[in-house]
A and B are shown apart, each in its own frame.
Chain A
Amino acid sequence: MRNLKKLVLGELHRLINYKILPISLVTAIIWIIIFLFLSEEEARNIAPLLIFVDVSMMSIILIGASHHFEKQEGTIKSMMMMPVSMGDILLAKVLSSMVLGLESAIVTSAALYFIHGVTFNYMVLLIFIIIAGVAHAAIAFILALNSKDFTSSLGLLMAYILPFQLPSMLFTFGIIEKEYEWLLMFSPSHAASSLITFAVSSDYDALKVLIGCLYLVFLSIVLFRYFVYSKFKSNAVRG
């Protein structure tokens, strides 16, 4: 636990050092400004999307970028020469990747409250962000571990977005009928987006919440256990 804390602090220190966290904060401030010009209903509709983008896409990009950068620098190999478990190293990276999502959720929630007086169950949102964040961190590692550099990692991200993200967007715009939403729940992105939307709108569909949570938790366990954990070390050694 002591080592995990140090690893997480190290990751956060680098997020600040590499200017990722400050830039993310500036972006969040831009959201606040946009909220000033939106009605309460518009703000409530757009807020889940902003949080979702930081929890999923930004997290995938952050993990991909830091993985390839650290591999190039050889620091992953150096970290493996420390008396810490690989599980701790991976967990620290997952936790730090969720900082962007949490930061976005805090800023968005604060903006909704102070500008429009909108409140919702923040604890539920936190739980959903953690579930969605871990699942997307697992996806991020799969993409990073199967690409040779950051550019090819972005290529794989596009390949992920097409079947998993695009239908969800088409559904949002009403192009895909509501009766097919059950199929879309197989998309980790749609499941995550639905959970965050439920939390912010305080309009829950209990069955979908249950299925979304169970699916994302199950997916996270399978991906980390059978794909990420086994490949992370050999990938670092090769670098």
Chain B
Amino acid sequence: MSNAFQVKDLRFKYKSSKEDTIKGVSFDVMEGEIFGLLGPSGAGKSTTQKILIKLLEDYSGEISYFGKDLKSIGKSFYEEVGVGFEMPVHFSKMTAMENMKFFSGFYKQTANVQELMEQVGLWEHRNVKVGDYSKGMKVRLNFVRAMLNNPKVLFLDEVTNGLDPKNARILKDIISDYRNRGGTVFLTTHLMNDVEQLCDRIAFCVNGKLYEISTPRDLKLKYGKREVKIEYKEEGATLDRIFPLEGIGLNEEFQNILRTKEIETIHSGETSMEDIFIKVTGGVL
């Protein structure tokens, strides 16, 4: 599997700011994976994404896109890339369909708009002006806009922000399906659920720096508590005990509770991604 993006020692400073917003970050985004950049607002996630989609150009460091220097690639880059912005990006006095027709007219290759809009539940509202859409509908339309050109790489910024759980689930399923068909996704978010449910690898981003690039599973194994909590009934009361995960099968006390007590719940003590984030970065989401 090749690298979709290879980023080395990336630094960026806004003209209006005194210090670097991005402070020498390095990471790879592999083809066919969902790579998540997780961090609080102002951490540099969106700036990193804007650099990768060529909206910001005065950066230092090296960025290659499928082996080519990103700076050397022209407008053809946008034939292969789809970008889902967090904020609405449509003409509000035009209908959703008019918007999609306008934007899709500029690509050599376009997706099936009807299919996409049906998937996100907007097809029956296609002739409604975007200005009359709810926030959630605009978010879903942003996603359709990002997928319009059948992109090879998809950039998504806070993709489920403002969506109800049902529609968030639908979008996540489409994104997973896109990845399963070979697509590459670069996701920036502060939502733990998105990261845990979608990302193959994640990087923690705080104050323009990256901490710990790994898979969610490995992070949990590395920073998780590795314990089992058991709740059981004894003489009418609910009691609980915590046992270390190591050697649990040989732990006599644990086995005894299982054999003799009425068990209410058993949970492995997985540390939440939020706890891991705080532990690793010292920051708060």
Contact with B along A26-42 (1 / 0, CB 8 A): 00000000000000000
* Bound form: Cα–Cα A233–B106 in Å: 19
Q: How far is the CA of A83 from the CA of B68 in the complex (A)?
A: 18
Interface residues of B in 147-162 (CB under 8 A from A): none
Nearest-neighbor residue (CB-CB) of A76 within chain B: B89
Q: Chain A at the B interface: mostly helix, strand, loop or mixed?
A: helix
Q: Which residue of A lies closest to B108 (CB)?
A: A83
Q: Considering the complex, which residues of chain A in the window 1-36 have a beta carbon less than 8 Å from any beta carbon of chain B?
A: 3, 6, 10, 13-14, 17-18
A80 at the interface (CB under 8 A from B): yes
Knowing A14-B94, A80-B55, the reply to whether A237 touches B50 (Cβ < 8 A) is: yes
Residues of A within 8 A of B50 (CB): 237
B75 touches A84 (CB 8 A): yes
Given A3-B106, A17-B93, A17-B94: A83 in contact with B76 (beta carbons within 8 A): yes
Cα–Cα distance between A18 and B103 once the two chains are bound (Å): 18
**Is B242 in contact with chain A by the CB < 8 A criterion?**
no
B75 partner residues in chain A, CB cutoff 8 A: 83-85
Bound together, the chains give a CA A52 to CA B265 distance in angstroms of 81
Query: A81 at the A/B interface (Cβ < 8 Å)?
Result: yes
B interface majority secondary structure = loop
Q: Smallest CB–CB gap between A233 and chain B, Å?
A: 7
Contact A74–B87 (Cβ < 8 Å):
yes
Give the chain B neighbours of A13 by CB distance below 8 A: 98, 102
Q: Enumerate chain B residues within 8 angstroms of A82, measured Cβ to Cβ.
A: 78, 103, 106-107
Q: Kindly provide the distance from the CB of A77 to the nearest chain B CB, expressed in whole angstroms.
A: 6
- Cβ-based interface call for A75 (8 A): yes
B79 within 8 A of A: yes
Is B81 touching A74 in the complex (CB atoms < 8 A)?
no
Question: What are 21 residue pairs bridging A and B, where the CB atoms are less than 8 Å apart in the complex?
Answer: A6-B106, A17-B91, A18-B93, A73-B92, A74-B90, A75-B89, A75-B90, A75-B91, A78-B85, A78-B103, A80-B55, A81-B83, A82-B103, A82-B106, A83-B75, A83-B78, A83-B79, A83-B108, A84-B106, A233-B55, A237-B55
